Amino acid sequence: MTKYDLITIGRANMDLFSSDIGAEFVDITGFVPQVGGSPTNIAIGTAQLGLTTAALTAVGNDNVGDFIITYLDRKNVVTELITRKPGLSSLAVLGVQPPDKFPLLFYRENPPDIWLTIDDLPNFADTKAFLISGTALARGTCAAATFYAAEKAREAACTTYVDLDLRPDQWQHPMEAGVALRRIMGMVDVVIGTEEELWAAINTDPNKWHGNDAVTDAEREQIEAWITAQMQTDARPQVIALKRGSKGVTIFETGQAPLDVAGFPVEILNTVGAGDAFASGLITSRINGMDWEASARFANACGALVVTRHGCAEALPTKAEVDHFIENYPSE
C-alpha cells in the first residue's frame, strides 16, 4: 500500500497576514498567523483536496517551529518528515492591498529548511508523486539533497514535479537560478511555472534578467520556441504547464499539440497563493486519474477560488468547494 500520495520539499514559513485589508503597511494594526512557503502551501492544498501528503522540510527548535508543525497537523498534512535543526524558523510578513499590492517581507537569514541533507530524505518507493520547489535549490545543503531526491524518486517510478517558484531574493545571483532550474527541469516529469518563471529559467543573459516582471512579446516567443523544441525530444520534462494568469494555462506535452485551457475570470481580492492552489489542483487531479485538460481546468478553478479569498493557506479550497465552483460558474 502506498504510504504517501505526495511528498513536497522546500521551505516552510510562519506567515503573518495583515488583518487590515487595504491598509498601507505602516498603518497595519494586526496580523493573522498562518503557515506558508510554496511547497508547504501545496502540501496543505493537496491535503485539503483529499491526498495523503507529507511535507519534507526543517524547522527550528523554537516556538515558530512548534506553530508550523501544529498548524500542519491540523490541516491533515503528514509531519513525520519534518526535522528540527539549529536556527530560527522562517517567517514571512505580508500586507494586503487588493487588487495588486501585497508587500512581502521574508525573514530567512539562515532558516533551518535550507540545511536539509541527503540523510533527511525518505524512501520514495512508497510514494506516488514528488513536488520540488525551485527555491529549494537556492541555498545551503538543501540543493544537493533535492537533486539527489529527484534521482531517487525517478528510480522509484515516482512522478516528479517542479514548481519553479521564482523568489529572486533567495538567490545570490540571478544567473544561479537559471543554472539550477535548467538542471532540475531535465530531471522531472512535469514543470509548472509562469511565463516569467520560464523566462528566468531559460535566459542566460544577465542583461535580460527582470525577475518576476512581465515578459515582453519577444521573450514570450522565445519561451514558446524553447518549449516546442523541448517537446519534440524524448528528454525530460515530458510536460510543461505554462501558467498565463487570467488567460488560464497551456499544457505542452511531448508528442502532442499544445493544449490551451481557459481560466475562470473572477473579482480578485488576493493573488497570494493562487499559484500554489493551481499546483495543488493539477497534481491532485493527475493522481486521481484525470486527463490533462480536466486536470488543468480543475487547477484553474482552484486558483480562481483562492484569489477571491483573503489569506493563503486558509484560502485553499476543498474538493467539494472546487466542484461546486465549476458546476455553478456562469457559462458564456
b/e map 152-164, b = 16+ CB within 10 Å: bbbeeebbbbbbb
Report angle CA 143, 148, 153 to the nearest 5 degrees.
125
Q: Cα–Cα distances in Å, from 199 out to 205, 219, 259, 314?
A: 11, 7, 20, 30
**Of 105, 145, 143, 116, whose CA–CA distance to 14 is shortest?**
105
Which residues neighbour 130 within 8 Å (Cβ) at sequence distance 6 or greater? Answer: 6, 7, 8, 9, 124, 149, 150, 153, 158, 159, 160, 161
Cell match 498567523: residue? 33
Per residue of the chain (332 residues), what is the pLDDT tens digit?
A: 679 999 999 999 999 999 998 999 999 999 999 999 999 999 999 999 999 999 999 999 999 999 999 999 999 999 999 999 999 999 999 998 887 788 889 999 999 999 999 999 999 999 999 999 999 999 999 999 999 999 999 999 999 999 999 999 999 998 999 999 999 999 999 999 999 999 999 999 999 999 999 999 999 999 999 999 999 988 899 999 999 987 899 999 999 999 999 999 998 888 889 999 999 999 999 999 999 999 999 999 999 999 999 888 999 999 999 999 999 999 76
**What's the confidence (pLDDT) of residue 245?**
82
Set of cell numbers at residue 229: 523544441
Structural domain 4-328, CATH architecture: 3-Layer(aba) Sandwich (3.40)
Q: Are 300 and 325 in contact (CB under 8 A)?
A: no
pLDDT score at 196? 96
Can you give the pLDDT at residue 102?
Answer: 86
With b for 16 or more beta-carbon neighbours within 10 A and e for fewer, the 171-192 pattern comes to: beebeebbebbeebbebbbbbb
- Which residues are CB-neighbours of 34 under 8 A, at least 6 positions away? 14, 15, 16, 17, 71, 311, 312, 313, 314
Distance CA 289, CA 321 (A): 19
The CA–CA distances, whole Å, from 232 to 226, 235, 238 equal: 10, 9, 10
